[in-house]
Structure 1
């Protein structure tokens, strides 16, 4: 089991106080709706930049890709992946999200109840 500590910056759309979060960088430009090829519904995706603390080895920057969709009761459900580079995260967002297996997804609920975009 990995004992690294993970911290991430504030996701797009949330209020950020620069004094409290000096390393915060907006990733809003990478927030997208992706149409899933098998479930035939829109998925809401966004990126956040963060850090992994590898204990004795120091910290490294990483990128979190979040995928949001609806469960059968209409509630939101999330999947997330961690990438070492922004390019890897963007490549997966562009090519992998549309075909990934999503546990507990309800395509009908995901189509019916649009996930609100918090991007301003």
Structure 2
């Protein structure tokens, strides 16, 4: 039997190929969903500030000198400020868009995402 070269899904295999079906699921599992919540206030600006802060922290840990420590603390404060500004903008735009057509579950979902303690790891 010739090997399958263009398999798009396990479900498209014919029933006479149980070996392929069993082994594709075993060796190529479907990717799991990300456990990070997509927050409405996260932007490229937040991602850049967080990345700069992480790089400064790594540099300080590698070579703990007072100037690198000072730079890390400065970028940490700047990152907090950028995130708070983006949260304020998201909250203001949400409040401006409130109407009677929005459901209570949508409003509470937005509120829970606003107070979520951890930002995503990357910009999505």
Name the TM-score class by shorter chain: under 0.3
Q: Please state which structure has a larger fraction of its residues in helix.
A: 2
- Give me the TM-score of the superposition, normalised by structure 2: 0.22
TM-score, L = length of structure 1: 0.22
Q: Identify, as 1 or 2, the structure richer in strand.
A: 1
Of structures 1 and 2, the one scoring higher in RCO (CA 8 A, sep 6+) is 2
CA radius of gyration, larger in = 2
